[in-house]
Homo-oligomer: A and B are copies of this chain.
Amino acid sequence: MTAHTEDTATAHEWQLIARPVGRPAPEDFRFVERDLRPLAEGEVRVRNHYLSVDPYMRGRMDDAESYIPPFELYRAMEGGAIGEVVASRSADLAVGDTVLHNLAWRDVAQGPASAFRRAPQAPGVPESAYLHVLGMTGLTAYVGLLDIAGFKEGDTVFVSGAAGAVGGVVGQIARLKGAARVIGSAGGPAKVDLLTGKYGYDAAFDYKQGDVAGQLAKAAPDGIDVYFDNVGGEHLEAALASFNRDGRAAICGMISGYNSEHPQPAPHNLFEVIKKGLTLRGFTVGFHTHRMRDFAREAGAWLAEGRLVYDETVVDGVENTLEAFLGMMDGANTGKMLVRV
């Protein structure tokens, strides 16, 4: 096979060099340039267009057993990305193909063709959408709401972190599937406006104003049936208090605690689980990828019809990936936080 190469013999990548304690600090990382070895048979080289930064990455920075292994020190960190094949020694992928993969944080990735998959293409859909609304964060919203929380038409749904990449989609799917009422929490008035405006939430509140339980109770006078948890802590406690009987929570994230040096005590009102017959179910999307086909069909149609909308917060330059990640952890993003290489 003829090797199709271009002169991308160097790559820039972010490496973790120390395990963060609490909030990650710049000294825990380094940004390095390195030479790429020639492609081996069966490998491809990809110039990334967009990199994804996501909350779960904080967990991979710790040296703790989890559902995915920790980042290795002094190796490029991993993460979702979309890019273009610029060299190929594989019959499976050709130069010019747009591919999705998990080998960011870097500008150029290479490896066996099996580590990359051709991105779906739909008219009018920008490729970045496959990193969020039509990708893993969208699938997370879909699986969490429908399969994990067992959403049913007529349910009242509460979503925390509702202006984030996952949360924004959850509320819209709930509305599209016939929720009685959709309530979201977010940080700051602009995001709250976005929820009730653009995303069609029935009610929203700013958790930074405090009294999450009180604000939720006011927004959900008849209680909630489903809670999609991206935040944990005080938000989960509020949801337990507002749940109706047989309520169901999809526990997707606990971003409020990710940078804590000491694990947070969970809600003080866990007894509600017994009193109300509640179900709390955790999940990570990697175990539910068999639903991608259903999700892509439904979400693709909603998007084409303009019934599903989204936001992106884009940071330019691979050298700013760490800044993008830290900003996302602090809630600087509206919708999906992306790095444009």
Contacts and interface: CB of A to CB of B under 8 A. Distances in A.
Interface of A: 66-67, 232, 251-254, 257, 262-284, 287
Overall SS of chain A's interface: loop
A274 B284 contact: yes
B283 A287 contact: no
A232 B272 CA distance: 12
B254 A271 contact: yes
Contacts of A254: 270-271, 274
Contacts of A252: 274
B270 A277 contact: no
A270 B232 contact: yes
Given A279-B280, A279-B281, A281-B279, A263 B269 contact: yes
A187 to B, nearest CB: 21
Contact of A287 (B251, B277, B282): B277
Nearest to A233: B270
Contacts of A281: 273, 277-280
A274 B266 contact: no
Contacts of A274: 251-254, 282-284
Contacts of A232: 270-271
Contacts of A273: 251, 280-282
A269 B232 CA distance: 12
20 contacts: A66-B275, A67-B275, A67-B276, A67-B277, A254-B270, A254-B274, A257-B271, A262-B268, A263-B271, A265-B265, A265-B266, A266-B266, A266-B267, A272-B282, A277-B282, A277-B287, A278-B281, A279-B279, A279-B280, A280-B281
B268 A264 contact: yes
A67 B245 CA distance: 9
A252 B262 CA distance: 28
Given A232-B270, A263-B268, A266-B267, A284 B275 contact: yes
